[in-house]
Structure formats: structure tokens, C-alpha cells
Amino acid sequence: METTQRTDQQRSAEQRRRELLEAADRVVLRDGPGASMNAIAAEAGITKPILYRHFGDKGGLYAALAKRHTDALLASLRAALDAPAERRERVEATLDTYLAAIEARPQVYRFLMHPSESGSTGDQGGFDVGLHSAPLLRRLGEELAEVIEERVDLGPESGRLARVWGHGIVGMMHAAGDWWLGERPCSRAELVGSLADLLWGRLAAAGNRMGGPGF
């Protein structure tokens, strides 16, 4: 009976946390980097101390939102990489998936990568974007490295090289996407094609791993 009650309480807490993250998402979509704990608490219909009880501070809320969006992005990237198509097409689809995600929700992207843009200290005091965004990019790099190592035969140094490529590709997508989202110097399709051209050298020549899903 006690175990059942504890399980019900855990489910209730998880549900409440999801609801709070959804409220935070709505505020971030509206306010971008300027989203405040006060606004999020008001959107959720609670007081700020209750919000702190769930997430600790803005850094804790940021980390929870970052995980939520990174999980969704990784699922989309893996789907693009696993699609039944030629390797070049899958490379382009993967790049396009990332760029489409930041284009569709630019306020969320700016909140995650540029929270100091609001110029407001308020409840953001001491919040260091690098401290939180670096692990997000590192996770993307490690996940992509794993996919590359599973699918592409890069020779005896395959594991090391896959990690170099994984982090390098994520760094390229992040830097190019950040610049493109701010300036819009070309269409998304043109940017995808240009980045794919940059990547295509050794990747085009590499073989697939024996028995693997291919890439």
C-alpha cells in the first residue's frame, strides 16, 4: 500500500513538472531570452517559491528545458540519419533538421543559447550561459559521434575520428546556424547545400561498417 502511494506521488510530481515545463515553454516562445521566473510562475498559476521548489533556480529550469528540447532534437536527427536514402541525402536531411528546428522556434533557441540578450539582471543574476549551453552541445556531439562510429568505417582510428567529426559537425552546425538565424544571408536550402559540400570530402569516400545500418 505504501509503495503504491509513493508511486502515485511520483507520477503526480512528474506530471506537475511536465505541466510547469510546458508553461515555461509558452513563456519562452513569447519572451525569448527575456523570459523570467516571475512570468513563468504566473503562466503556471503558482508563486515563484513553488517554481523554485521544483527547479531550484533559473539554471535548474534552463537545464530541464534544455534536456526536453535536446531529447526532441536528437530523436529528429536520428530519424534523419536512419531514413532510407543515399548518404549525401541523409547528410543534407540531418543538417536541415537542425536548422529547421532553430528556425521554427527561434525564441526557444535564443533562450537556450543567448539568455543574456535581454540585458536584464533580475532573477537572472549569476546565470552563466556557457556553463549550461556547453554540456548541451557536448551531448549533441557525443550522440552524433556514436552514430558515425556505428555506421561509417573510418579505419583503425575510427572511434577517435568519429568523436572528432561528431563534435566538429555539431560545432559547425551551431556556429553556422547561429549566424544564419541572425542575418538570413541565404535560404535554408542554400546553407544546407553549402555545409554538406564542406563535409563531403572523406565522408563520401568512407565505407559502411560491415553488418551495420549504413550511413
Asked if the structure places residue 3 within a domain, the reply is: no
CATH number for 102 = 1.10.357.10
Rounded CA-CA distance 66/115 in Å is 12
Domain count, the chain: 1
Asked if the structure places residue 17 within a domain, the reply is: no
Angstrom distances, CA of residue 129 to CA of 32, 95, 195: 14, 24, 26
Asked if the structure places residue 115 within a domain, the reply is: yes
Asked if the structure places residue 204 within a domain, the reply is: yes
Q: What is the pLDDT of residue 155?
A: 81
Asked if the structure places residue 31 within a domain, the reply is: no
Rounded CA-CA distance 143/145 in Å is 5
> Residues 112, 66: contact at Cβ < 8 Å?
yes
Structural domain boundaries enclosing 157:
62-208
Q: What is the pLDDT of residue 160?
A: 92
Asked if the structure places residue 102 within a domain, the reply is: yes
What is the pTM for the complete model shown? 0.79
Contacts of 119 (CB under 8 A, 6+ apart): none
Helices (DSSP H) in 83-184: which residue ranges? 87-104, 106-113, 129-151, 158-183
Asked if the structure places residue 42 within a domain, the reply is: no
Q: What is the pLDDT of residue 126?
A: 43
Asked if the structure places residue 202 within a domain, the reply is: yes
Tell me which residues of the chain have a pLDDT lower than 50: 118-122, 124-127
